[in-house]
A = this chain, B = another copy of it.
């Protein structure tokens, strides 16, 4: 697959990228169709950014890393936008303070769209006019800009979910079909022998710098669950006093739970004794067969301990996923919520991609020989390699063209607003 891509003539790759650029840019705007102007403005917690900011920042990325460098005498639309829409690139100068993104009513939503249109017009003029050699030189950063926008599309969905959940009116982002409330398929255990595995990305397609270099790890024999943990299984943990048994929790998790008052996953609420779940389709009854999501690492880890199992390492996960197709419920399907596995006739692990991100027990560390990119883009991944855990797979808020076997997502152990769930693992030959 990779080899076929790198074997493509440059012109074909250029045409393909132009189309991809347009598709992805339009998808950001498609995701905004259900919104009213007021929805674009709000930052409901420091981790959340206003939709308006996401739309502008992803444009700023192309302006900063491509247009201002590739277009002679490039004119920005507004001199202050570079300050307002830089996220965390310290190398590029001062930035507007992250927790204050929700205090900015201007530029308006309309002006933000005008900014996007301006950047798109400039980008397309540039992309079409590029000769093959120039394109080949710019291709990696263009690819990065597109995947960067796809990351923000996922954040737009999870951030909007958080914004709507803070509203006592519990508004729905978009209507989608209710779940079928059927039982989950039984869980199977798949066994893997010990050995040296190759891990990480190597090839000609796009991957983030943190997925490289491809390297070896020794993996002991292990078992992996055939599917994700369900709401029903997690409810059994709750009903067995899982949130009150200190022996199940990591020490820092126990205190986080206490300070934050956690007694269930984020977005669960009990109304008159019945469990409901805030979704992007509004408040809905809990489907016990659906993958549990909006868990912190601490909760995933405590559940696994309660179940007498453990979380997989990222090496184990990637090894098991190598033979699995990238199928799953992605954002493309317009459901924005994980889907239950009711039927399972396979011998492979199921739900590896595109339902919920799966916490691994692996701290987010550099791969042996890792080198961040040069310049400001070196800040993309490397500087966050402390205090976070790797999540694998992809979620119902990820675009399918953004998912990848070697993808390393990462969040701090107390983060819950992503579509994050878990799959169980166990030591082999026990």
A39 to B52 alpha-carbon distance, docked (Å): 13
Residue-wise interface mask of A (25-60) relative to B, using a CB-CB cutoff of 8 A (1 in contact, 0 not): 000000000001111111010000000100000000
Residue-wise interface mask of A (94-122) relative to B, using a CB-CB cutoff of 8 A (1 in contact, 0 not): 00100010111111110000000000000
- CB of A241 within 8 A of chain B? no
- CB of A273 within 8 A of chain B? no
A280 to B195 alpha-carbon distance, docked (Å): 49
Within 8 A of B (CB), among A37-87: 37-42, 44, 52, 80, 83-84
Are B41 and A41 interface neighbours, CB within 8 A?
Answer: yes
Are B251 and A384 interface neighbours, CB within 8 A?
Answer: yes
Given contacts A80-B168, A386-B413, A387-B413, is CB(A105)–CB(B218) below 8 Å? no
Would you give the shortest CB distance from A37 to chain B, in whole angstroms? 4
Residue-wise interface mask of A (375-393) relative to B, using a CB-CB cutoff of 8 A (1 in contact, 0 not): 0001100011111000000
Main secondary structure of the interface of A (DSSP, over half): mixed
Interface size on A, residues (CB 8 A): 64
- CB of A9 within 8 A of chain B? no
CB < 8 Å: which of B167, B218, B366, B384 contacts A106? B167
A252 to B369 alpha-carbon distance, docked (Å): 22
Are B369 and A365 interface neighbours, CB within 8 A?
Answer: no
The 6 residue pairs across chains A and B that have the minimum distance between CB atoms: A363-B363, A38-B105, A218-B218, A90-B246, A37-B37, A251-B383
- Can you list 19 residue pairs at the A/B interface with Cβ under 8 Å? A36-B105, A36-B106, A36-B108, A37-B37, A38-B41, A41-B105, A42-B104, A84-B168, A90-B247, A91-B246, A104-B166, A105-B163, A105-B171, A107-B169, A217-B218, A218-B218, A220-B369, A249-B383, A297-B386
Residues of A with Cβ closer than 8 Å to B? 36-42, 44, 52, 80, 83-84, 88, 90-91, 96, 100, 102-109, 163, 166-169, 171, 196, 215-218, 220, 246-247, 249-254, 297-298, 301, 361-363, 365-366, 368-369, 378-379, 383-387, 413, 427
